[in-house]
Chain A
Amino acid sequence: MGSEDVKLISFWVSPFAKRVEWALKLKGVEYEYIEEDIFNKSSLLLELNPVHKKVPVLVHGHKPIAESFIILEYIDETWNQYPLLPHHPYQRAHARFWAATAEEMLMEAAWIGMCTSGDDQENAVKAAREAMEKIEEEIKGKKFFGGENIGYLDIALGWIPYWTPVWEEVGSMQIIEPLRFPGITAWMTNFLNHPVIKDSLPPREDMLVYFHSRRKALSSSFQGRFKF
């Protein structure tokens, strides 16, 4: 399977798009990175993802694939080196379940926490911590969710170690309590220290500026739905 003509339409601070970068880099797949201004969407993006009009979009041999989890599966099926999903169907289902569950329960709550204050924020933080508790059980005794190596679930949850602390600072809240979540805390260090991950992270200062402006823009018109 060739790596010819692989493009990634991305946005520098999108955790969804970053997942795709990590997968490509772990597999050593060469690609062209195309930055998209999501507040002024290009005709290219609208053509490649007319249904959702969002990043990331992976384009391989002129064929677009959208939705980050779907792109991860495509990458894993197309390039066999460094498998991301486990081999056995039960373990694959397990990884998919936790990726979807964390997205629905944890990311949503953490985002709402960042955008709100008062009771709304308190409820969001509580929900996020409850979700973290469940995820803590999954990492127990393992270096990575994928075992000895970074796998699909590590990539799916990879926003936690780097985006959450930024959101915590922006929202003046705390979700990750190291004493309460020792497994996740250790995993976060392992994940961020991985050479592929470490070199791909966006600058923290820039992220803080960006998310402060998002909080300001969204807090007055917050509708309870995930808007990145």
Chain B
Amino acid sequence: MAMAIKLSLLLLFFLASILPTFSIFQDQVGFMDWHQRYIGKVKDAVFHTQKAGRKRVVVSTEENVIASLDLRRGEIFWRHVLGANDVVDKIDIALGKYVITLSSEGSILRAWNLPDGQMVWESFLSGSKSSKALLVVPANLKVDLDSPVFVYSGASLHAISNIDGEYLWKKDFATEGSIDVHQLILPGGNDVVHAVGVTGSSQFDTYEIDVKNGGLLKHTSASLPGGVYGEILPISGDRFVALDASRSVLVLLTIQNGQVHLEQTHVSDLIHGSSVNTVILPSKLSGIFSLRTDDCIVFIKVTNEGKLNVMEKVDKMVVVSDALSLSEGEQAFALVQHGDSKIELSVRLVHDMSSNHLKETVKMDHERGFVHKIFINNYVRTDRSHGFRALIVMEDHSLLLLQQGEIVWTRDDGLASVIDVTTSELPVEKIGVSVAKVEHNLFEWLKGHMLKLKGTLMLATLDEIEAIQKIRLQSSEKSKMTRDHNGFRRLLILLTRAGKLYALHTGDGRIVWSTLLQSLRTTSQQQCSGLKLHQWQVPHHHALDNNPSVLVVGRCGLSLTSPTALSIVDAYTGKELPTMGPAQHSTVQVIPLPFRDSTEQQLHLLIDADKHAHLYPRTPEAARIFQREAENVYWYSVESEAGILRGYGVKSTHSSNVPDEYDFETRNLWSVVFPSESEKIIATVTRKPNEVVHTQAKVIADEDVMYKYISKNMVFVATVSPKASGPIGSATPDESVLVVYLVDTVTGRILHRMTHLGSQGPVHAVLSENWVVYHYFNLRAHRYEISVIEIYDQSRAENKDVFKLIVGKHNLTTPVSSYSRPEVTTKSQSYFFTHSVKVISVSSTAKGITSKHLLIGTIGDQVLALDKRFVDPRRSLNPTQAEKEEGLLPLTDTLPIIPQSYVTHAFKVEGLRGIETVPAKLESTSLVFAYGVDLFYTRIAPSRTYDSLTEDFNYALLLLTIVALVVAIFVTWVLSERKDLQEKWR
């Protein structure tokens, strides 16, 4: 009887642990995931501090974000991410309550409500031809007037009502000849708007246009014999300055009584010394302009007589802000000078350039690089004098607010432009914890446990529950800097567009270290940018004392043949290791080889534009290892423009024209030429190199076995007919054909080829194990589709007999060669899918046992987890009993979108660009990192956490069971003793 009870108790315990946990509960948010919001590198900023309430600044960024930031803390009040093609040109604030943005080359004008970011109105401006986009918002017009916003775009001037975005009038400049308008000026108090520009690069024109109806009032023009370089800059109401085409003569234009007077001054007369790259800086300072020459920045004052006076020369790394009008006639601007680990901010008044109005020195982390931009704003101090705050944008795209000589807040907005991601293990925990630390935390620890106990016993008040939640979130366990048993704690190493490397802790997303890579810094001679991030050294067996490191490959210059920048960075400290200098060759492809040297450095092959292979690390040992395996190293290149796929191998013999033993000549082994008139490559996808496949066999319903064709050398290629390569709707179903290929990259063999009629891209695909899933648009059905191809190896299909397997008569252990003729069969199926997709990825686990989830980045910037079983090609309308047992789902025409299976639950990863999955050590779990403008990290368990207890595991029941068992053991022991005694007495 007792046993039955115990058994049922045990059963209960097992049943409790089987309960499914698909999605997470509300209180689990933030427990294993984090979400960070960024805006990107700030391009333009407009302050809004008129009201005493919440002070804010509105910024537009290079990630096409418009955001309103809190000036006191740097937090985002609201934010809008415009599409990738909707580049923000200008922003401004109108009427003190609307943010006006001009985007998409001046074709879309929007007004957003300043307090909450709601869109108020939107107007589409059509122009006859593309041109510069200019926006002028009148500042001084009376509010009761229906004050228009003036936009110059598409070679015409538009006036748009401030209140509702209504179209008031349009003045087309295309009829006036090919004028290129440089400036729109709205002189205060006047009813005219001035458009200043250049016609045909040698004629200066100004137009005065009536604000009321767009009528042309006056047109003055003058010929510019020297042409114009750059833009015409207004100095004051009737004075303009320009640089001639040779960049050596300054032209001062003065308009008097409808006549234009030209006055030419040689730059060399002003600055004494020649300068080639002279530029007029676009900072608008009244009466003054600034000129950047080869070695300095010169401030030049224009006197009333039209004379140019050099006022000051400063270092050329100085950054100048726009002028800020303080009070009547008074203007100030800021200069930032970069010193050694500090920056100097000085504010000067325009009419009094001689002295600094304000000079502050701020300590600056040198990992932030130089100052790129500065925006200043003033406020009234408690003593009624003018105070200034400055918003500065640094080289690493971070945004800082300086005030009173201090950094008030910083935002690491470089993280909005992640290029590549890799992960690194954390250091192994050192044995021995300092006692002081424990004692210090003892009270806290006890308190925490008391709180938790209260929570468990449901005695906690609301505040206490909140505190418990906080403790749970901040539990040191998950943000520790050591390796954990489950492999959840890691460093995410991110390479950003600014050439900065960040290491983020997966536990809470904090920045552990960040390094501005010196080898990737853009100098005046060359523009460097990061390309790829690879694991360089993963200490495993031999070199456990070494820290892991990552390899950053960059390119200095814009063309493919530009030299390579290489850098190796310690993953624990973020220090750049000095072992690698810049490379002379270019890099178009980086191939991590599956070989390691004795210090566990991964061998890499860098392919340059001339198809030479360069081996790294450059050690004799690596060369020896590579020479041994060079025979079996193959790679391929995709020439999308030419529509050619080429395969290469390393030339075995050394020829004389290769400089050293680490450079190898390559040879073309195969090529696939897509006919240019009917096919254009739009997508190529390969398997992840580190993917693990657990079993090569798949047991199907009738106890039959299918062998997966698992080849690491498989590439998926999608081509469309050239007409259909444009956006959806640009081609008719008859002219658009999508062809998909599975190509073996060693031999160039086309393993499978399939045509989708009436379909077109964009194609997003993921290749894993023996299947590929791809997403495209079906023009005939007017819907998106997801198709799957699974590829099976027929040559192993005979190995079904268990007897044969036991005796060893099978070919499962024979090495697979790509040179053997493959006998493959494929199965495929298409399904409709509601969403359009930005990116597709797949979950990856340590051993590959756990079933897979497709991770689909939807157009709504969320990540949807879709079970791979939904895109099984073997689904049929009425699965047999055996197939049901196997877990095959009945066929549907559409893939379901289950709201609970959004991995990102309530969050949006704005501007989603990539989803990276990393296996945890725990087989059931996969770490997911999605990046775009935002960052999001979580862990997913596609088959639920079957190998560990869930967070909400009922420990109480387990304890109860154990106690009951112990009691039962004692009782039975006593009983048996007693029985024994009785028997002895018998």
The answer to whether A binds B is no
